[in-house]
Amino acid sequence: MLRIKNLHASIDNKEILKGLDLEVKAGEVHAIMGPNGSGKSTLGNVLAGRDAYEVTAGEVWLDGKDLLELSPEDRAREGVFLAFQYPVEIPGVSNINFLKTALNEIRAYKGLPPLEAREFLNRVKEKQKLVEFDAKLANRSLNEGFSGGEKKRNEIFQLAMLEPKLGILDETDSGLDIDALRIVARGVNQLRSSNNAFIVITHYQRLLEYIVPDFVHVLYKGRIVRSGTKELALELEEKGYDWIKDTVDAEGAV
């Protein structure tokens, strides 16, 4: 589904990603871990198309489409969904109007007619239940007055509504208490299927107890330096990132 080859990206002329390779197949969940500043969030933002980042080399393919050629909205319409680390509050834009606009623009891109009002509202209700997001959305502005946990849950709810191919969760666990974390994880697990895939970006192994990944990758200095299964996350938790740093830096020195 997703193929990243030798991706280099920089911000303000500072290179953050330095030759990243990753392949994600439909039905898989990949966890990306790594110390602060290793480029985890950069990866999410580059995939979603944030224009502050400049891609200097490499390729990204999503089901045969050259993702780097597309605008952020077209990437979303092709099925990329970035759950933001810091979801934005937009006063005056209602949650419902926002979702309806997003959903219908994605549908229009695929040549589908807009959803009927009733159909849309049924879907809202159904998906809210699915991801256990019970915040009242009607007559409320997008994320306005939401707690940190509610904002993160709203991201997962949007993901459920828009049904992307590839969900990228950018430190969705940060700032969540254990109960909210469980709810978010359950929501994601409900949404997992053989047709979609997830990239879960996180600092901690904790989230991976709830969203069990098929693969774990360790990002360090802009490259994936270790890949493995979920046991790698446990090993990291136990030994700390210094273990990675030391071994990788030692390899580099050789």
Partner 1 sequence: MITQVSDSLYSQLIKTYGGNLPSAEPRSLDEIRKQAFERFKSTGFPTVKNEDWKYTNIQPLVSQHYELDAEPPLGAFDLDKANLPQLEAYRVVLIDGKYHAGLSDDVSGVPGLTILPIDQAFERLCFAKYFAEFADKTDNPFVALNTALFTSGLFIEAGKNSQVQKPIHIIHVSAARQPVFNQVRNLYVVGAFAEAEIVESFVTDDGAERSLNNLVTEIVVREGAKMQHYYLQTAASQSNYLNHTEIHQEKHSLYNNYNCTFPGPAFVRNNINVRLGDMEVESHLYGVTLTAGNQFVDNHTIVDHLRPHCESYEWYKNITQDTSTAVFNGKIFVRTDAQKTNAFQQNNNMLIGEKSAVYTKPQLEIFADDVKCSHGCTIGQFDNEALFYLQARGISEAQARILLVHAFAFDVTSRFANTAVREYVEHLVEEGL
Residue 125 contacts residue 133 (beta carbons within 8 Å): no
Q: Which stretch binds partner 1 (CB under 8 A): 93-101, 130-138, 197-205, 238-246?
A: 93-101
**65: helix, coil or strand?**
strand
User: Does 82 engage in binding with partner 1 (CB under 8 A)?
Assistant: yes
What is the Cα–Cα distance from 118 to 95, expressed in whole angstroms? 16
Binder of partner 1 out of 23, 25, 57, 71 (CB under 8 A): 71
101 or 193: whose CB is closer to partner 1? 101
Which residue type, as a one-letter code, is found at position 5? K
77 lies in the site for partner 1, by CB under 8 A: yes
- Residue closer to partner 1 (CB basis): 55 or 248: 55
Q: What is the DSSP letter of 25?
A: -
142 contact partners, CB below 8 Å, separation of at least 6: 88, 89, 90, 93, 94, 95, 98
Query: Which residues ranging from 32 to 51 are in contact with partner 1 (CB under 8 A)?
Result: 48-51
Burial state string for 201-224 with b = 16 or more CB within 10 A and e = fewer than 16: bbeebebbebbebebbbbbbbbbb
Q: If binding is defined by CB under 8 A, does position 59 make contact with partner 1?
A: no
Tokens of residue 192, six digits: 């997992």
Per CB under 8 A, the segment of 82-90, 177-185, 215-223, 231-239 that binds partner 1 is: 82-90
Is there binding between residue 167 and partner 1 (CB under 8 A)?
no
The distance of closest approach from Cβ of residue 105 to partner 1 in the complex, given in angstroms and rounded to an integer, is 5
Applying CB under 8 A, the span of 76-84, 121-129, 209-217, 246-254 interacting with partner 1 comes to 76-84
Query: Interior CA angle at 77 toward 67 and 175, to 5°?
Result: 85
- Residue 105 is a binding residue for partner 1 (CB under 8 A): yes
Task: Give 213's DSSP letter.
Answer: -
> Contact region for partner 1 (CB under 8 A) — 15-23, 94-102, 184-192, 201-209?
94-102
Would strands 29-33 and 215-220 be described as parallel, antiparallel, or unpaired?
parallel
The verdict on 92 binding partner 1 (CB under 8 A) reads yes
Q: Which is nearer to partner 1, 98 or 243 (CB)?
A: 98
Q: Is 63 in the site for partner 1 (CB under 8 A)?
A: no
Residues 176 and 87: beta-carbon distance below 8 Å:
no
CA distance 174 to 149: 9
- For partner 1, the binding residues (CB under 8 A) are 48-51, 71-73, 75-77, 81-82, 84, 87-88, 90-93, 97-98, 101-103, 105-106, 109, 141, 158, 162
